[in-house]
Amino acid sequence: MKIEVLADADAVARRAAGLIASDARTAAGARGRFVMAVSGGHTPWAMLRALADEDVPWAKVHVLQVDERVAPEGDVERNLTQLTASLLEHAPLPPGNIHPMPVDARDLAEGAARYAATLRALSGTPPVVDLVHLGLGPDGHTASLVPRDPVLDVMSADVAVAGPYQGRKRMTLTYPAIDRARRVLWVVTGDDKAVMLQRLVNADRAIPGGRVEQDCAVVFADRGAAQKLLPGA
């Protein structure tokens, strides 16, 4: 795992955007497309807006969701709502290249299976996503892999349905799908993440984030989140 500490959340967002753009150019040149999966959060939305200012082969970019709340289309709690606003209003990404999780499916398990098929169609069998972007919660969760949820133990599917968390059921990529990625990009900001970031860096498997493989991982953190990693901490 590589770790880079930046001054603040805006610097983290810009640095992450630059890395995504670089990976997109490399993947598009090598394989004809770039497939990334994006999590939610305030800094990630800034990251996606900053991506619009980068040199990106937009026609060859496909955007998946790492996780999504089961909520109506257009709901402010849906990651998709902010994802589309951050990208489509700022960058020339073809609208059809955003692939929403089907959380409006009557049968959520069938919807998860359908989304796993989307992963395979874009990224092969088994799917190898070019870049998976992750955040880290103050409780150590990442994606919708939350403490004590049975979804943590799903190893036979790439997409699964998680139980209620903060009032909403979720659909999420599982560890196998995340761990196959060519790159895992952690974006971690805020003082309230400091303890969990330290545990993440130490690969503490007692927290969900600590169970993600680290060989292809990069962490961009602001000074608040990284305070326990800095000299003198």
Gap between the Cα atoms of 173 and 179, Å rounded = 10
Gap between the Cα atoms of 170 and 103, Å rounded = 8
Q: Supply the range of the domain harboring residue 62.
A: 10-170
Gap between the Cα atoms of 197 and 223, Å rounded = 11
pLDDT tens figures, 183-214: 999 999 999 999 999 999 999 999 999 999 99
228 within domain boundaries: no
Q: Where are the beta strands (DSSP E) in 41-198?
A: 61-65, 67-69, 98-99, 131-134, 159-165, 168-173, 183-188
212 within domain boundaries: no
pLDDT tens figures, 94-141: 999 999 999 999 999 999 999 999 999 999 999 999 999 999 999 999
200 within domain boundaries: no
> Comparing 73 with 135, which gets the higher pLDDT?
135
HSE (side-chain half, CA atoms, 13 Å) at 114: 14
What is the predicted pLDDT for the residue at 106?
93
What lies within 8 Å, CB to CB, of 103 at 6+ separation is 68, 69, 70, 71, 78, 111, 171
4 within domain boundaries: no
Gap between the Cα atoms of 87 and 99, Å rounded = 13
pLDDT tens figures, 150-196: 999 999 999 999 999 988 999 999 999 999 999 999 999 999 999 99
pTM: 0.96
What is the predicted pLDDT for the residue at 73?
87
Kindly state the tokens that stand for 157. 């599917």
Gap between the Cα atoms of 156 and 91, Å rounded = 36
Q: Residue 41 belongs to a domain with what CATH number?
A: 3.40.50.1360
Residue with tokens 């903060």: 166
What is the predicted pLDDT for the residue at 41?
86
In the chain, the number of structural domains is 1
Question: Would you tell me how many other CB atoms lie within 10 Å of the CB of residue 123?
Answer: 23
19 within domain boundaries: yes
What is the predicted pLDDT for the residue at 46?
95
Gap between the Cα atoms of 16 and 44, Å rounded = 9
193 within domain boundaries: no
Q: What is the mean pLDDT of residues 215-221?
A: 97
What is the predicted pLDDT for the residue at 94?
96
Gap between the Cα atoms of 229 and 194, Å rounded = 8
Residue type, 98: I
195 within domain boundaries: no
The total number of residues shown for the chain amounts to 233
109 within domain boundaries: yes
